[in-house]
Structure 1
C-alpha cells in the first residue's frame, strides 16, 4: 500500500520526475536501494558532528542517481541540524579560473546555504539575524552598550575554537559589523555584500568596512572553512557542501585550466582528509570519465590518481568506505519496486486507480529493456520518466488500454536481456 504523501510534496515529486530532474523534497518516498551508500554518508555526518569531516567523490553515469543521492544526503543533513551548501559547476563556475570562476562557485554556495527552517536556500541572512538578535539581547540584559567592542568580545568568546583559522579576525569583524547595522535597523548592510562575495576590489571593501580582505578565487575555500566553524559555534552540527557536475572540469579544453582546477581540488581534498578543517564534509559528483580518464580526468593528475585509484585487494568488489563511491545500477528487484512506487504516487496525485497491475508492470519493464540499446545502460531517470508519460497518457485518454500503447513495440519476452532484468524479481 502506498504511503500517503502531502499534496504539495506529491505535486513536486511528480513534476520533477516527469521532467527527469531530482525533486528537492519528498525523496524519502521514492528511495530504493543505496543502503550501503547511505550508511557511509550517515557515518560521515556523525564524524562531521564530532569535529571531523569527509571528502568523497560520487561516481555514476548520467541519470544513474548521483544527484538523487546527494539530495537525499542533503535532506538528511538538514533534518539533523547541519548547514548545507550546494552548487552545480558550469563554464562560469569552477574551483578556480582567470575570470572569477572560483568566486562564482563560492557565491552560488552562499546563495544556496540552507538550514532546516530554510531548506530551499537563502539561509545566510536569517542565520546572521538570529546570532545578532541573541547577542543584542544578552548585552541589553547585562545593561551593556551595543557597540563594536562589546559585540566583538561576545563573538570572539562564542567562536574561541576558531581563533587559529585563516582570516578569522576579519570574518568576526564582519559578523560584528552586521550585528551593529542590524541593531540600528539598517536596510542595506555592507557586510552582507561582503559575505556574499559581491565586492569587486579591496579599495571598496576598505572604504565600506575598514578591512582589506577581499573574497576571491584564492581564498574562497578558507571562507567555507570559516562558515563551517561558525555554524558549529552558533548551534549547528557543522557544514556539508555538495558540488555536482564535475564533468564540467573534464570538458575544459585548456589542459592548464583542467590542471589548475584539479590542483585546487587536491588542495581541498588533502585539507579535509588530513584533518586541517573541522565540522566540514564535501561531496563532488561526476561521471566515471571525469574520475578515471587518464588523459583528461582526475587520473590525469598524478597526485589525485594516487589517492583515488582502487586498492589492489578490491578486485571488483564494492567499497563504500573509500574516497570514491561508485553508484552501482539498481538491481532488477529495486527497479521494479521503484516503478511500482511511482505508479502508486501517480494514482494518489490524480486520485484514480490505474489498470497496471504487477504483471503489466513486468510487461512494461520487458518492453523498456527490449527497446534499450543495452540493459546495462538503462537508468532510473529514463525508466521513471517514461512510466509517468505512459500513466499520463492512459489517465487522460480513458478509451486507451495499456496493451494498445505497449503493443507494437519490440517486446521480446523470451529475449535474454528482458529475461535478465526480470529474473529474480520478488513480485
Structure 2
C-alpha cells in the first residue's frame, strides 16, 4: 500500500514519499517476544526493499532511543539480521560523522545551541502573541544557569524540559507583566520524567 502511495505521489509531481515513525520505543515495550520479532521482521523487510533497490522515492525514518536500538534482549539488536545491518560505522567518531549509514545518532545539544534555540523560541513567542516579553540574553543565560545547576539536571534534564519550562515562564510573564522573573527562575525544579513502563523494564533486566 505504501509503495503504491509513493508511486501515486511521484506521478502527481512530488519527488517522493517520506514516512516518519516516531516513538519506536513502543516496539521495545511489547512484552511478547514473538510479537516483537514479527514487528522486527517487517522493519527488516522495509530495510531490504530500500537498500536493495526494490523501491524508489520512498524514505522511512524510525525515531527511537539507544535502548530501543542496542538492547540485545528486546531491542533491534536482539534480531540478528537487523543487528548486522544497523551497527554503527566503526570508523565514525564524534568529529568525523557518516550520514550515509542506516543509523544516524543524534548528538546532545550543547549549551550554546540551547541558548540559540531559546532565543529563537522567544522571538516566535513574541510574534505569535503580538507582544515583546522583557527577557534579555542575560536573562536567558540566568535561566539556563538556574536549570542546569539544579540537582538531577545532568541525569534527567532534556531539551524538552528546558523548552517547556522556558515557555511556561514566558506565558506567566505575558499574563502577569509585574511579576519578578528572578523568582520564577528560582522556582525551577528537576524531576525524573521517564515513562514508568521503561523504568520498570530496565529494573527487571537489571535483576
2:82 to 278, 293, 304: 304
Q: Which residue of 2 aligns with 1:328?
A: 107
1:295 to 45, 55, 73: 73
Aligned mates of 2:151, 2:119 — CA distance in 1: 20
**Match status 1:356 vs 2:107:** no
CA contact (8 A) 1:238 1:280 kept: yes
Change (3 A) 1:327 1:376: farther
Matches within 5 A, 1:184-203: none
Aligned mates of 1:356, 1:238 — CA distance in 2: 42
Q: Which residue of 1 aligns with 2:185?
A: 406
Alignment TM-score, normalising by the size of structure 2: 0.82
CA contact (8 A) 2:89 2:101 kept: no
1:372 Cα deviation (Å)?
Answer: 5.4
What does the per-residue CA deviation read over 1:264-314, in whole Å, with 9 as the maximum and x for residues that have no partner? 110110011110112211111111111111110000000100001113222
Helix, strand or coil at the partner of 2:44:
helix
Change (3 A) 1:338 1:234: closer
Q: Which residue of 2 aligns with 1:32?
A: none
Aligned mates of 2:106, 2:55 — CA distance in 1: 27
Q: Which residue of 2 aligns with 1:370?
A: 149
- The structure whose Rg is larger is 1
**Match status 1:341 vs 2:97:** no
Change (3 A) 1:370 1:326: same
Aligned mates of 2:15, 2:120 — CA distance in 1: 33
RMSD of the alignment, in Å? 2.0
**Match status 1:245 vs 2:38:** no
CA contact (8 A) 2:6 2:16 kept: yes
Aligned mates of 1:408, 1:241 — CA distance in 2: 40
1:323 Cα deviation (Å)?
Answer: 0.3
1:379 Cα deviation (Å)?
Answer: 2.3
Q: Which residue of 1 aligns with 2:165?
A: 386
What does the per-residue CA deviation read over 1:106-150, in whole Å, with 9 as the maximum and x for residues that have no partner? xxxxxxxxxxxxxxxxxxxxxxxxxxxxxxxxxxxxxxxxxxxxx
**Match status 1:274 vs 2:55:** no
1:355 Cα deviation (Å)?
Answer: 2.4
Gaps of 5+ in 2: 190-207
Matches within 5 A, 1:61-80: none
Gaps of 5+ in 1: 1-222, 411-427
Q: Comparing both chains, which one has the higher relative contact order based on Cα–Cα distances under 8 Å and sequence gaps of 6 or more?
A: 1
Aligned mates of 2:111, 2:129 — CA distance in 1: 28
Alignment TM-score, normalising by the size of structure 1: 0.42
Change (3 A) 1:400 1:239: same
Aligned mates of 2:104, 2:155 — CA distance in 1: 19
CA contact (8 A) 1:372 1:378 kept: no
CA contact (8 A) 1:239 1:280 kept: yes
1:332 Cα deviation (Å)?
Answer: 1.6
